[in-house]
């Protein structure tokens, strides 16, 4: 009876300390217990990696407590929830981030010290979780941190790939890809939920069935796999709230196909079942290029179907009327990748919950919001109809039905303008009939967000012009942001301490606008001295890494000039490399003059500002030109770094296998960073924000979010160059007749003539920027690029000026926190409110 239960509950409470304690000896005991019982090593003999594992498990225990409390609290309050659907999350490492957000980093560091370990050393043992490609995926990770910190009732949903983004290995200067089997050594940051599973169906046929005197559609699937949930707790900073990133793994279905077993081929039946796991096995490594691959479509539907079953199950736990669904659920589509969710919600509501079509459609129109991350129309996903028809026959019908109703409505509004109707249709008739996923997402979402102001302008005036004219109210933008917790507090602890000291508070960690308080101190000589000290220590750390990794010794008094991001023609790493070749050439000429005249004065050599140029990034495995850019970088580096005439005046380093944890090391040590995309091509960019926060000056074009950075810190505090966005289309038309500076022709000549070797291999690369083919306007922008570089050199010589600009960069970075982005989404797009877990 009730009495018995009470006794049992009291007994259970009596047995557990209310919460795990975080004083040094409790932490030590917990870590050692995990060494012994979880890692199963003797506490008298374990190495750094095992110590890291034990440490991670003790942190995980503390995360789980808060996570349970948060989930119970959400359940009790039943607020409207935001579900963030994304095929990619680039989380990087979790240890430091977790203990900092939990507020127990120093306790852990002290506890470990007494045991003879250093926290930083153990933190280095952790591998990166790289379940994403680039900016889009890291943005999702930053936004999860903000959602947790700001107490929003949020869930992230994605795929648990067994192989994350490939590891980049450089051999003879060429990129090679190796699989990233990241789960090899276990993953303490996830919790496997063997009982949270859903069946996901594919293929088969659709039949008509009699129902209530009418007909209805029934999908008879041909294949079924199981989705198993893996929960990754995401702790907020300075709050108990800890939210869930739920990633799905594919497993063979529980329902056994008796037929194949009965035929006696037991071994083959088991082997075939195992194939189900391939669905979540590997992340597609192409940043933004879409190919109609069946496996990719399967991944998309697999994660969408499992997530929606989970979301609908949670809704039904406490609601019975689907008309209330929009009051409780907001679904965010991160790019078009999850947009099958639209058809899936319709299918579930109509086919399974038996809602009438129009009623279901009314619900769908209220729950979805869509964010697009590209400006290139060719970057938009198109799914071949044949493919969809075989994999998801019922979904194709639903998309056709949605399109039919929508086109009928459209005709009433715009008349029979067939060109426009066909442009706006969800279905594209062409050589390959296909579904335009972006059109589907726009038609069915209540809001379409861009990722920066200029991006949104381009969407409205070019890419989605037709839609904007029809539904201006749907279009908005939320400029991207990054989390200062990871990008300052975790990755740059000395700068973090310095900022807190000078602001007299740590409150900026949750309220980043407070950084503006540094502006008043931008001329303070004491701050200058401490600021330079911190920057120097970070540069030393980076220099050590460079030497360990490449054997190249670099001087920390040189300017560290960095460009790290995915390799892409529009991002113009080639412009950077050609600029470096030009610099090299100038140094050589100055050296020749010095030798010739034996006169230091006449040579410009003393005026050269020493530079360490650092480039890093991965090329999509099938992207030939991007791979050639990497090879060119390494070939040029080989030449320059071994040229005794150059010495410390110029070094070029290609950092292999760029990822989140490498970024955490490189960004704090950079003096100058480059964001030099052809204007009108970078939807936002988020690397620029990370550098800005860390007091690194930007050399940039007026593209994406840089335009908004200029508004915050002023153009005097950065080095801008290049054609403006509105000039680019006309410049392209002029193409072949454009005048290209002599210096440009001469550096390209050097590459063509084999000055850096590999003449034949680089030919096609040179062809891409000469002879009227220079689509990304490298030649046109070269002169102003060199001028911006010269201005950076000049400013660097004046260290006082440089330091002031650096402080003002950090001080002006507040607007680029993902906290601000998320608050805008919450208020304007999702209509959700914080739901803070007490105590
Ligand atoms: O998304 C970032 C932007 C960036 C944009 C990037 C992106 C991807 O990483 C992948 C595909 C895609 O279409 C766009 O290139 O400008 O900052 C986050 O919004």
CB 95 within 8 A of CB 126: yes
d(CA 159, CA 307): 10
User: Is any atom of ligand 1 closer than 6 Å to the C-beta of 143?
Assistant: no
Phi, psi torsion values for 143, nearest 5 degrees: -70, -35
SS3 content of the chain, % helix, strand, coil (to 5): 55, 15, 30
d(CA 440, CA 552): 51
d(CA 315, CA 312): 5
CB 697 within 8 A of CB 674: no
Element (H, E) at 418: helix 418-424
Ligand 1 nearest-atom number relative to CA 137 = 9
Smallest CA separation from ligand 1 atom 7, residue: 136
821 is written with which tokens?
Answer: 């982005």
User: Is any atom of ligand 1 closer than 6 Å to the C-beta of 684?
Assistant: yes
User: Is any atom of ligand 1 closer than 6 Å to the C-beta of 686?
Assistant: yes
Class of domain 542-816: alpha beta
User: Is any atom of ligand 1 closer than 6 Å to the C-beta of 58?
Assistant: no
506 is written with which tokens?
Answer: 């740590």
CB 323 within 8 A of CB 420: no
Same fold? 78-93+128-480+824-830, 542-816: yes
d(CA 84, CA 68): 20
d(CA 715, CA 709): 9
d(CA 450, CA 455): 6
826 is written with which tokens?
Answer: 């919450």
Residue 602: its pLDDT value, please?
A: 60
User: Is any atom of ligand 1 closer than 6 Å to the C-beta of 134?
Assistant: yes
Nearest to 167 by CA among 653, 596, 659: 659
Class of domain 78-93+128-480+824-830: alpha beta
Nearest to 435 by CA among 357, 342, 345, 350: 342
Q: Which residue has the tokens 């006169």?
A: 599
Nearest to 311 by CA among 82, 68, 71: 82
User: Is any atom of ligand 1 closer than 6 Å to the C-beta of 680?
Assistant: no
d(CA 13, CA 7): 10
Cα of 539 vs centre of ligand 1, distance in Å, is 28
Top mutation candidate among 142, 165, 374 for ligand 1, by most atoms within 8 Å of CB: 374
Cα of 287 vs centre of ligand 1, distance in Å, is 8
Alpha-carbon torsion 458, 463, 464, 466, what sign? positive
User: Is any atom of ligand 1 closer than 6 Å to the C-beta of 458?
Assistant: no
Smallest CA separation from ligand 1 atom 14, residue: 373
Residue 593: its pLDDT value, please?
A: 84
Residue 254: its pLDDT value, please?
A: 72
Q: Assign residue 498 a region: left if phi > 0, alpha if psi is -120 to 50, beta otherwise?
A: alpha
In the chain, where the domains are located: 1-77+112-124, 78-93+128-480+824-830, 542-816
Residue 84: its pLDDT value, please?
A: 98
737 is written with which tokens?
Answer: 């007749």
Smallest CA separation from ligand 1 atom 8, residue: 136
Cα of 288 vs centre of ligand 1, distance in Å, is 8
Nearest to 286 by CA among 296, 276, 297: 296
d(CA 556, CA 662): 18
CA atoms within 13 A on the CB side of 130: 26
d(CA 628, CA 139): 28
Report CA-CA distances (Å) from 305 to 157, 158, 200, 259.
11, 11, 6, 27
Residue numbers annotated as active site: 373, 565-566, 571, 686, 690
Alpha helices in 522-623 (DSSP H): 525-550, 573-597
38 is written with which tokens?
Answer: 């979880």
d(CA 487, CA 489): 6
Residue 451: its pLDDT value, please?
A: 98
Cα of 141 vs centre of ligand 1, distance in Å, is 13
3-state secondary structure 276-307: HHHHHCECCCCCCCCCCCHHHHHHHHHHHHHH
What ipTM score was computed for the predicted complex, to two decimals? Answer: 0.99
Top mutation candidate among 135, 140, 480 for ligand 1, by most atoms within 8 Å of CB: 135
Residue 222: its pLDDT value, please?
A: 94
User: Is any atom of ligand 1 closer than 6 Å to the C-beta of 374?
Assistant: yes
From first CA to last CA, the distance across the chain in angstroms is 32
d(CA 54, CA 172): 39
SS3 160: coil
User: Is any atom of ligand 1 closer than 6 Å to the C-beta of 571?
Assistant: no
User: Is any atom of ligand 1 closer than 6 Å to the C-beta of 288?
Assistant: yes
Q: Buried (b) or exposed (e) across 394-419, using 16+ Cβ within 10 A?
A: bbbbbbeebbeebbeebeeeeeeeee
CB 765 within 8 A of CB 635: no
219 is written with which tokens?
Answer: 């999908």
Top mutation candidate among 84, 132, 133, 134 for ligand 1, by most atoms within 8 Å of CB: 134
Cα of 831 vs centre of ligand 1, distance in Å, is 25
Cα of 256 vs centre of ligand 1, distance in Å, is 42
CB 456 within 8 A of CB 465: no
CB 168 within 8 A of CB 656: yes
d(CA 363, CA 340): 16
Alpha-carbon torsion 445, 451, 457, 461, what sign? negative
Cα of 816 vs centre of ligand 1, distance in Å, is 16
Classify residue 817 by its DSSP letter.
B
User: Is any atom of ligand 1 closer than 6 Å to the C-beta of 379?
Assistant: yes
248 is written with which tokens?
Answer: 């799905």
Ligand 1 nearest-atom number relative to CA 686 = 17
Ligand 1 nearest-atom number relative to CA 451 = 19
Ligand 1 nearest-atom number relative to CA 335 = 13
User: Is any atom of ligand 1 closer than 6 Å to the C-beta of 818?
Assistant: no
Classify residue 617 by its DSSP letter.
-
CB atoms within 10 A of CB 342: 27
Cα of 236 vs centre of ligand 1, distance in Å, is 25
Work out the angle between the directed axes of helices 525-550 and 493-503 (0-180°, nearest 10). 170
d(CA 174, CA 712): 40
Q: CA 739, 745, 749 angle in degrees (round to 5)?
A: 160
Cα of 683 vs centre of ligand 1, distance in Å, is 6
User: Is any atom of ligand 1 closer than 6 Å to the C-beta of 480?
Assistant: yes
User: Is any atom of ligand 1 closer than 6 Å to the C-beta of 139?
Assistant: yes
Cα of 667 vs centre of ligand 1, distance in Å, is 19
User: Is any atom of ligand 1 closer than 6 Å to the C-beta of 448?
Assistant: no
Cα of 644 vs centre of ligand 1, distance in Å, is 41
Ligand 1 nearest-atom number relative to CA 133 = 9
Cα of 663 vs centre of ligand 1, distance in Å, is 17
Task: Round the CA-based radius of gyration of the chain to a whole number and report it.
Answer: 28
User: Is any atom of ligand 1 closer than 6 Å to the C-beta of 685?
Assistant: yes
Residue 807: its pLDDT value, please?
A: 98
d(CA 48, CA 41): 12
Nearest to 578 by CA among 641, 685, 652: 652
Top mutation candidate among 373, 381, 565, 570 for ligand 1, by most atoms within 8 Å of CB: 373
pTM (predicted TM-score): 0.97
Series of mean pLDDT values for 10-residue runs along the chain (839 residues): 74 70 95 97 96 98 96 97 98 98 97 97 98 98 98 98 98 98 96 97 96 90 96 98 98 75 78 90 86 92 98 97 98 97 98 97 98 87 96 98 98 96 96 96 98 98 96 98 98 98 98 98 98 98 97 97 98 98 95 79 76 98 97 98 96 98 98 98 98 98 98 98 97 88 97 98 97 94 98 97 98 98 98 93
User: Is any atom of ligand 1 closer than 6 Å to the C-beta of 682?
Assistant: yes
CB 677 within 8 A of CB 578: no
Phi, psi torsion values for 63, nearest 5 degrees: -65, -40
d(CA 182, CA 230): 15
Smallest CA separation from ligand 1 atom 1, residue: 136
């Amino acid at each position: 009876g009730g009495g018995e239960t009470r006794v049992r509950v009291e007994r259970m409470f009596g047995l557990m300390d209310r919460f795990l304690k975080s004083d040094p000896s409790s932490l030590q005991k917990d870590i050692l217990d995990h060494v012994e019982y979880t890692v199963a090593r003797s506490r008298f003999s374990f190495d750094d990696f095992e110590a890291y594992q034990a440490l991670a498990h003790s942190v995980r225990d503390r995360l789980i407590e808060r996570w349970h409390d948060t989930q119970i609290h959400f359940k009790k309050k039943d607020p409207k929830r935001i579900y963030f659907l994304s095929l990619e999350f680039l989380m990087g490492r979790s240890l430091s981030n977790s203990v900092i957000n939990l507020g127990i980093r120093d306790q852990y560091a002290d506890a470990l010290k007494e045991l003879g370990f250093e926290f930083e050393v153990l933190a280095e043992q952790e591998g990166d979780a790289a379940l994403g490609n680039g900016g889009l995926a890291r943005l999702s990770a930053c936004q999860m941190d903000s959602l947790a910190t700001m107490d929003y009732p949020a869930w992230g949903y994605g795929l648990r790939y067994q192989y994350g983004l490939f590891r980049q290995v450089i051999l003879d200067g060429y990129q090679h890809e190796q699989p990233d089997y990241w789960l090899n050594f276990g993953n303490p940051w996830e919790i496997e939920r063997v009982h949270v599973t859903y069946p996901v169906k594919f293929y088969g046929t659709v039949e008509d069935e009699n129902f209530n005197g009418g007909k209805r559609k029934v999908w008879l699937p041909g294949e079924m796999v199981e989705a198993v949930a893996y929960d990754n707790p995401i702790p907020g900073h300075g709050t108990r709230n800890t939210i869930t990133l739920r990633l799905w793994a594919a497993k063979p279905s529980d329902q056994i196909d008796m037929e194949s077993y009965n035929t006696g081929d037991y071994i083959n039946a088991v082997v075939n079942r195992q194939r189900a796991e391939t669905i979540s096995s590997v992340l597609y490594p192409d940043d933004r290029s879409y190919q109609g691959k069946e496996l990719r479509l399967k991944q998309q539907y697999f994660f969408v179907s499992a997530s929606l079953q989970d979301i609908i199950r949670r809704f039904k736990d406490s609601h019975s009327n689907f008309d209330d669904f929009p009051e409780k659920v907001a679904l965010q589509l991160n790019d078009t990748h999850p947009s099958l969710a639209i058809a899936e919600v319709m299918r579930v509501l109509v086919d399974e919950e038996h809602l009438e079509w129009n009623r279901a459609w009314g619900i769908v129109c209220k729950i979805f919001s869509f964010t697009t991350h590209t400006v290139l129309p060719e970057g938009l996903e198109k799914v071949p109809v044949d493919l969809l028809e075989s994999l998801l026959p019922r979904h194709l019908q639903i998309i056709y039905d949605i399109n039919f109703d929508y086109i009928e409505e459209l005709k009433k509004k715009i008349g029979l303008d067939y060109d426009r109707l066909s442009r706006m249709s969800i279905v594209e008739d062409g050589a390959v009939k296909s579904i335009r996923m972006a059109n589907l997402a726009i038609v069915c979402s209540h809001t379409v967000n861009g990722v920066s102001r200029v991006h949104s302008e381009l969407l409205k005036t070019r890419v989605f012009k037709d839609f904007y004219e029809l539904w201006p109210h749907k279009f908005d933008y939320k400029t991207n942001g990054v989390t200062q917790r990871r990008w300052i507090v975790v990755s740059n602890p000395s700068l973090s301490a310095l900022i807190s000291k000078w602001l007299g508070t740590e409150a900026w960690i949750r309220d980043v606008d407070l950084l503006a308080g540094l502006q008043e101190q931008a001329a303070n000589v004491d701050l200058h001295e401490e600021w330079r000290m911190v920057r120097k220590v970070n540069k030393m750390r980076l220099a050590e890494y460079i030497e360990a990794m490449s054997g190249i010794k670099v001087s920390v008094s040189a300017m560290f000039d960095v460009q790290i991001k995915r390799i892409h023609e529009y991002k113009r790493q080639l412009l950077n490399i050609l600029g470096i070749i030009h610099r090299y050439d100038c140094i050589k000429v100055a050296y020749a003059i010095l030798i010739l005249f034996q006169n230091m004065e006449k040579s410009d050599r003393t005026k050269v500002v020493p530079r360490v140029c650092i480039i890093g990034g991965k090329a999509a495995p099938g992207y030939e030109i991007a791979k050639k850019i990497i090879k060119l970088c390494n070939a040029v580096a080989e030449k320059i770094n071994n040229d005794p005439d150059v010495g410390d005046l110029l070094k070029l380093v290609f950092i292999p296998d760029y990822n989140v944890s490498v970024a955490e090391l490189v960004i704090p040590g950079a003096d100058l960073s480059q964001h030099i995309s052809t204007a009108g091509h970078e939807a936002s960019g988020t690397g620029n924000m990370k550098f800005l926060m860390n007091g690194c000056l930007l050399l940039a074009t007026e593209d994406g979010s840089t335009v908004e950075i200029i508004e915050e810190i002023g153009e005097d505090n950065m080095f801008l160059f290049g054609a403006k966005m509105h000039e680019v289309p006309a410049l392209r038309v002029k193409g072949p007749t454009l005048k290209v500076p002599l210096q440009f022709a001469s550096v390209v000549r050097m590459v063509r003539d084999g000055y850096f070797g590999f003449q034949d291999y680089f030919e096609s690369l040179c062809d891409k920027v000469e002879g009227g083919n220079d689509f990304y306007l490298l030649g046109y922008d070269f002169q102003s690029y060199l001028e911006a570089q010269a201005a950076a050199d000049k400013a660097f010589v004046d260290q006082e000026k440089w330091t002031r600009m650096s402080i003002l960069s950090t001080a002006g970075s507040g607007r680029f926190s993902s906290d601000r982005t998320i608050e805008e989404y919450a208020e304007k797009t999702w209509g959700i409110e914080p739901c803070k877990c007490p105590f």
